[in-house]
Amino acid sequence: MAKRIFVTATNTDIGKTYVTALLMKAFTKKGYKVGVIKPVETGVSDGVYPDGDLLLRLLKELNPLAWSLEVEDIVPISYELPAAPLIASDFGEIDYAKIDHAIMQQEAFCDVLLIEGAGGLYVPLDNEVMMIDLIQKVDAAALLVTHCSLGCINDALLSQKALEAQNINYATVFNCKADDKSFEEVSAPYFRATAKEIFKSASDIDTLCDVLYNL
Ligand code: GTP
Ligand code: MG
């Protein structure tokens, strides 16, 4: 089994795909063979998978063993409505065997498998399963991507507490964007006072790879 790393976030549009791509490149530079899946993507229409297409393209650049994969191998389940899977599927069932199959297919040729969630931890997949439960179902460690704007203390802590309540091993990364300049002044002091380290996307990505691999 490859090292499975489930990339989740405090919400949608925070930077899961961005950080997943950084990790794929950084793990490759370190000599690992990478794989990637996005088990469920919504907002897929006319054959365009906003995340799946990007991840597949990058995967083929980084790992030649993935040459024959198609986007449906990266994204085994997709829906057109850009909504939580439970809503996008009109309260349907998720076929978890398809997700297991996609994982197995790539684990035949990768050492590290990045798995990008949809939205945040409490996004409903079906009537019983939330995104956070899928992390356990696929036996992965988690990377929580958080934003850096005012409010990130609350958002990060809520997600961290949820992960801890389900005994999921995780690391946290701050994905600061250009307009997040206040982070060091208004939010980072809290994390520096209470956590051992703050990892920032891009600048700390190499260290983060090592931390994640050992979770
Ligand atoms: P969903 O999968 O739709 O839930 O979103 P996501 O969490 O994967 O977010 P994504 O990585 O797609 O990032 C959202 C938007 O912010 C995209 O347009 C990214 O290009 C942009 N973005 C993400 N991280 C950064 C960053 O660090 N810097 C800049 N400038 N843009 C970023
Ligand atoms: Mg994404």
Residues in the chain: 215
The pTM assigned to this predicted structure is 0.97
| pLDDT tens digits along 20-41 | 999 999 999 999 999 999 999 9
Checking if the pLDDT of 195 tops 90, the result is no
More confident residue, 198 or 48: 48
- How far is Cα 47 from Cα 65, in angstroms, rounded to an integer? 24
How far is residue 104 from each of residues 70, 100, 107, 146, 182, measured CA to CA in Å? Answer: 15, 6, 5, 29, 43
State residue 6's pLDDT score: 98
Number of domains forming the structure of the chain: 1
**So which residues are the catalytic ones?**
38
Rg (alpha carbons) of the chain, rounded to whole number? 17
Those residues with Cβ within 8 angstroms of residue 6's Cβ, 6 or more apart along the chain or in another chain: 115, 117, 134, 135, 138, 140, 141, 142, 143
Tokens (6 digits) for 192: 């520096």
Tokens (6 digits) for 69: 């994969």
Range of the domain at 22: 3-213
Mean pLDDT (the chain) is 97
| CA 63 to the chain's CA centroid | 19
Residue 65 per-residue DSSP state: G
127 alpha carbon – ligand 2 mean position (Å): 23
Task: Take atom 24 of ligand 1 and give the residue whose Cα is closest.
Answer: 15
174 closest CA partner among 3, 38, 9: 9
Task: Take atom 20 of ligand 1 and give the residue whose Cα is closest.
Answer: 18
State residue 55's pLDDT score: 98
Q: Three-state DSSP class for 7? A: strand
- How far is Cα 117 from Cα 126, in angstroms, rounded to an integer? 14
State residue 178's pLDDT score: 84
pLDDT, mean of residues 83-103: 98
- How many CA atoms lie within 13 Å of 69's alpha carbon, on the beta-carbon side? 30
CATH label of the domain that carries residue 205: 3.40.50.300
